[in-house]
Amino acid sequence: MVDFVFAALAIITIVSAILALEAKEVVYGAVALALSFVGIAGFFALLDAVFLAMFQLTVYVGAIAVLILFTVMLVRREQWLKIKEGVYRTAGVVAAVIIALGLGYLVYASAFTHATPTLEQAPFTLLGPLILSDYWAALVALSLVLASAVIGAVVLAKLERD
């Protein structure tokens, strides 16, 4: 059963990631990107990281994808449908294939092929103590980053010119 679920998730994620970049209509691309995020959340759930899967769904799909979709609708032009996007297409495909083959060989030749699935797993209730004890500085830094990102984005997005 999991095999089938894994295969379905992999196909959904990869195909919608390709669609996100290649769909003619950029709004379709944004929705496909959201679907790809959902697929990644499914992988997290398969890896027994349920809390993280929900984190991914809420933040990536619920917030980032919505923001992207809104902005895409804001700046979309009809003429984008006609012009051909992508100039160095062959070069891009070649680069992608080289990277995929190289990294794929690296993974294949590494010791990870022997990593066996284990039944034991960590409960997600450990996340809070870990973040608030070992990584509390990272959390505070994260809030600084978020605060400055919001302030910077508001300043960038408003029309007022000095």
Partner 1 sequence: MALIRNLLEFLIRIAILVVIIIILIPILLLAAYHLLGPTFPIEPSMLLDPSETLAFTLKLMDTDLFRITVFPGFTFVALYAAIAGLWERKLLAKMQLRVGPLYAGRFEGILQPIADVLKLLSKELVIPKVVDRFFYILAPLLTVIIATAAVAVIPVTDKWVIARSDVGVLVIFAVLGFFPITALMAAWSSNSRYPLLGGLRALHQMVSYEIPLILSALAPVVYAGSLNLIDIVRVQSSVWFILLAPVSAIVFLVCALAELERIPFDLPEAEPELVSGWLTEYGGMNFGLILGIAVYIKLYVLSALFTLLFLGGWLGPAFLPPEFWFILKSFIVTTLLLIPRGVFPRLRIDLLLKQSWARYLILALLNLLVAALVVLSGFSLR
Partner 2 sequence: MILEPLVNYLFVSVVLFAIGVYGLVTKKNALRMLFAVEILINSANLNFVAFTRYLHPTSVTGQALAMFSISLAAAEAAVGLAIILAVFRLRKDVDVSEIKGLRG
Partner 3 sequence: MGSDLLLILFTAAFAAAASVPMIIIPLIISPKKPTKPKEMQYECGQIPSGAGKMSLMMQYYAYLLMFVAFDVMSMFLFAWGLSIQTVGLNGFFVVVLFIGLLLVPLGFTLYHAGRREIW
Applying CB under 8 A, the residues found at the interface with partner 1 are 27-28, 31, 34, 50-51, 54, 57-58, 61-63, 65-66, 69-70, 73, 124
Rounded to whole angstroms, the Cα distance separating 11 from 33 reads: 14
Asked if residue 129 binds partner 3 (CB under 8 A), the reply is yes
Q: Which is nearer to partner 1, 17 or 72 (CB)?
A: 72
Asked if residue 140 binds partner 2 (CB under 8 A), the reply is no
Long-range contacts of the stretch 94-97 (C-beta < 8 A, 24+):
none
The interface region with partner 3, picked from 12-20, 91-99, 101-109, 134-142 by CB under 8 A, is 134-142
Which of 65, 62, 68, 44 has its CA nearest to residue 124? 44
Binding-site partner at residue 57 among partner 3, partner 2, partner 1, none, CB < 5 to 8 Å by type: partner 1
| Shortest Cβ 53–partner 1 spacing (Å) | 8
> Which residues neighbour 148 within 8 Å (Cβ) at sequence distance 6 or greater?
none
**DSSP code per residue over 35-62:** HHHHHHHHHHHHTT-HHHHHHIIIIIII
Asked if residue 108 binds partner 2 (CB under 8 A), the reply is yes
Count of residues of this chain found to bind partner 2 when the rule CB under 8 A is applied: 83
Rounded to whole angstroms, the Cα distance separating 94 from 115 reads: 31
Asked if residue 25 binds partner 3 (CB under 8 A), the reply is no
* Residue whose structure tokens are 């996340």: 127
Asked if residue 154 binds partner 2 (CB under 8 A), the reply is yes
